[in-house]
Each structure stands twice: as structure tokens, then as C-alpha cells.
Amino acid sequence: MEQDKINSEYIKSAEYFRDLEQKKEKEIFILSVFRFLTFSGGFIFAWVGFTKNTTAGIVISLAFICVFLFLLKLFLSASEKKEFLANLVSINQNEANAEGGDFSSFKPGDKYIDIKHDFSFDIDLFGVSSLFQYLNRTVTDFGRDILAGWLSDPFSLSSNLEERQQAIREIAVKINWRQSFMASGMKNPLEKEDIKSLVEWLVEKPLINSSGFYRFLLYFLPSATLISILMTIAGILSYQVILFTFLVNLFYVAAGLKKINRIHSTL
């Protein structure tokens, strides 16, 4: 009966987080629509504003840019929250399956099988339906390595066994904290391959300094935009020049954000 109750609680939690995830997905869709309308509408209104008055065109452009960036911030925050909720759904569903005897969602640790080990191979310490798979709730290769090391050499834990037991008793009742911690780890699982990519990025030559062309654009584009704005206000240039330089700057920034996003996904 106790096992059925625990299983039911996990299923209820999974359904609860799934409902929240679906609501967040609808929110993301609405934000996407508003972002598109803001971008397209801002471009149109800015164009009309510049045809009437240069100052009005600049003010309208800046206003729509601020609104667009605000919506972008909300969109990114909602996307991260949705991913977090999806991980909570997965965690609770996996635990419900485990209560029913299905541990297939957890890595069995096949790579740690060592037929030359003193006891691990004889007692099915690693592999499918092993003790490792039963205990494993890790989300990174580093965590699995540590757990495998503890199971392979339990004597190394004897010096602080009581402290570990006390820590387990304390964390055991903090279900929400444990699941939030695990969901955060699933969102950014720092695997060994990711570490390798991170090291490669650290030694990689910065994009801005990778060529004289990029260094030229770094200083030229902002200067050209500022000069074009001043010359447009003075009546020397038309408003189309500002729009052109703005679009070029936006393209350059987008290219930089793409690289930053690749770095962020690695981290």
C-alpha cells in the first residue's frame, strides 16, 4: 500500500508539472506572436514616422526596440521555465516507473563493469538491473563517475559514514529541493564532451579579434550609425540611411549573439 501511495504521488506531481508546462508553452506562443508584431509593426511605424518627421521616426524606432527587447527577455525566461518544468515532469514520471519496477530511464553504468574487480562483477554492481541503476539519479558523467567510485570502493567512505547518513536523512525529506536541483542539472548537463568544447572555446581566438575586418566593423558600424543620425537631423542625409545602418548593426549583433548562444548552450 505504501508503494502504491508513493507511486500515486509521483504521478500526481508529473501531471501537475505537465499542466504548468502546457500553460508556459501557450505563454511562449503568445510572446512569439507579440514579438513578431512588434518587429514588423515597429519597422512599418518607423518608416512612416521618418516620412513625416525625422525626430518622430527616431523616437518610434527606439520605443519599438525597447518593447522588442523586453518581449525577448520575457520569451527567453519563459522558455527556460518551460524546460525546467519539462524536466520535473520527466523526473516524477521516471520515479513513478521506478516504483513499478521499471528502472530503464536511469543509466545502468555498463561502462563501469570490470571483470577483474574483486567483487563488482559477481554481485551485479553495474549493468542492467544493477545496484548502480537502482541508485543512479545523476545527470552528468562526472556524477556517475563519482557514484561508481563509491560503489567500487566503499571502504573509502567509512571515515565519514555517519555524516553521510545524516546528510541522506536530511535531504530525503526535501523532495522539492532535490527535484529542483536535479531539474536544474538536467537543463545544463555539463558532460565531458562539453568540458572539451569549453576548453576549445577558451583557447579559440575571439571573434572580434579574429580578423582585421571584424575589428574594423567593431568601430565603424557604431560610428557610422551615430554620424548618419546626426547628419539626418541636420537634413544632410535621408532617413533611409539610418534604417540601413540600423539593419547592418542588427545583423552584426545577431551574428555575435549566435556565437554567445553557442557558448551558453555549452555551459
**pLDDT at position 1, please?**
54
Measure the CA dihedral 163/169/174/178, to 10°: 60
**pLDDT at position 257, please?**
45
For the residues of 117-142, what is the DSSP string, one character each? SSSTTTTT-SSTTSHHHHH----SHH
**pLDDT at position 3, please?**
74
Q: Which of 134, 137, 148, 129 shows the shortest CA–CA distance to 171?
A: 137
Grid coordinates of 118: 574483486
CA-only gyration radius of the chain, Å: 27
**pLDDT at position 117, please?**
84
Digit-by-digit pLDDT tens for the chain (267 residues) are 577 788 889 999 999 999 999 999 999 999 999 999 998 888 888 888 888 887 887 888 888 888 988 999 999 999 999 999 999 999 999 999 998 889 999 999 999 988 888 888 778 899 898 999 999 999 888 889 999 999 999 888 888 889 999 998 999 889 999 999 999 988 876 666 666 666 666 666 555 555 566 666 666 666 766 776 666 666 666 656 656 666 666 665 555 544 444 444 444
Cα–Cα distance measured from residue 112 to residue 121, given in angstroms and rounded to the nearest whole number: 10
**pLDDT at position 53, please?**
80
Grid coordinates of 224: 557610422
**pLDDT at position 198, please?**
63
**Cβ-based neighbour number of residue 4 at 10 Å:** 10
For the residues of 207-257, what is the DSSP string, one character each? STTS-HHHHHHHHHHHHHHHHHHHHHHTTSS-HHHHHHHHHHHHHHHHHHH
Cα–Cα distance measured from residue 152 to residue 131, given in angstroms and rounded to the nearest whole number: 11
